[in-house]
Amino acid sequence: MISAQVVKELREKTGAGMMDCKKALTEANGDMEKAIDILREKGLASAAKKSGRVASEGVIATFVTEDKKHAAVIELNCETDFVSSNEAFVQLANEIAEVAAKSEVKDVEELKAMELNGTTVQDAVTNLIAKLGENMSLRRVIKMDAPDGLVSSYIHMGGKIGVLVQVKTENTSDEVTSVARDIAMHVAALNPQFLDSTSVDADTIAREREIYRVQALNEGKPEKIVDKMVDGRMNKFFKEVCLVNQMFVKNPDLSIEGFLKEESKKHGEIALVNFVRFEKGEGIEKEVVDFAAEVAAQMGLNK
């Protein structure tokens, strides 16, 4: 039985019609990702959007050391947006990011055990829970080091999105830092999935090629030109999901790769090495509460 909620979720992710979504889910035995593929193969999905996830509350925080060689991004979650904007909550998130950036942290469990203000990071979170009366969770951390360059960061909408960008350069001036920050702002806006085409895993490439092949055949194109069509659509795919191939959000006449070439002429060689983007609550499923049903149940109206 395919629920209306699941059909609605698929429609939000793909832009396809309700009946098409229901048929695709039925064909896929309820598998959301498979249903997306089916809709795309039939040319009915505008995109395999990943933005339909329900976000929890909290904040993303970043910290870059003074020498620009070390940085970290963390996500600290809470239950309500009221607490996520609380000064003590935001300060704790920033302090945790600083601890991470100045350490050799490898994962969030390691970070929780690190020292912060005379106690551990986890105890500091627990103490704030007691103070504010709301559950909190330190969810994730990524540490980034740039021994042969620098790291720059960007925080969007007061902590909804946080980005770190690492570049290789001999020039660690404020001007080059600003170049890396501009790229971080671009990452926040366009959410690239990969650094470049060589970073795209083989499974993703195989999946996309097969979808484009089926699309072309469904459009009635002859077999002899299908491979060329698939190659063309893969090039478009790379331009959409790979950071270096995307058109620069601040200057759409240039790709990110082109922007870096222009800036390298002014400041010496600047090479993009790595990036990370955290968005508050991505991938966390929030319980959908039917308040009318809840009230009815409490009043015994459903008996």
Q: Is residue 71 part of a domain?
A: yes
Q: Do residue 89 and residue 8 come from a single domain?
A: no
Closest CA to 192 of 131, 256, 251, 140: 256
- In the chain, how many domains are there? 2
Q: CATH number, domain at 130?
A: 3.30.479.20
Q: Do residue 75 and residue 135 come from a single domain?
A: yes
* Helical (H) or strand (E) element with 231: helix 223-241
Angle ∠(228,232,235) on CA atoms, nearest 5: 140
Q: Tell me which of 4-8, 12-16, 287-291 is least confident.
A: 287-291
Q: Is residue 105 part of a domain?
A: yes
| pLDDT of 241 over the 90 cut | yes
Q: Is residue 168 part of a domain?
A: no
Closest CA to 228 of 243, 206, 213: 213
| pLDDT of 299 over the 70 cut | no
- Mean pLDDT of the region 133-154: 94
Instruction: Confirm if 221 and 229 have CB atoms less than 8 A apart.
Output: yes
Domain span at residue 130? 55-145
Q: Is residue 156 part of a domain?
A: no
Closest CA to 39 of 9, 69, 63, 64: 9
Q: Do residue 23 and residue 61 come from a single domain?
A: no
| pLDDT of 294 over the 70 cut | no
Find tokens 């090495």 and name the residue: 273
Q: Of the candidates 96, 130, 145, which is a domain's last residue?
A: 145
Instruction: Confirm if 20 and 194 have CB atoms less than 8 A apart.
Output: no
Closest CA to 207 of 224, 229, 191, 230: 230
* Confidence at residue 54, expressed as pLDDT on a 0 to 100 scale: 34
| pLDDT of 133 over the 60 cut | yes
Q: Of the candidates 16, 38, 53, which is a domain's last residue?
A: 53
- Mean pLDDT of the region 26-49: 81
pTM above 0.85, yes or no: no
Q: Do residue 40 and residue 69 come from a single domain?
A: no
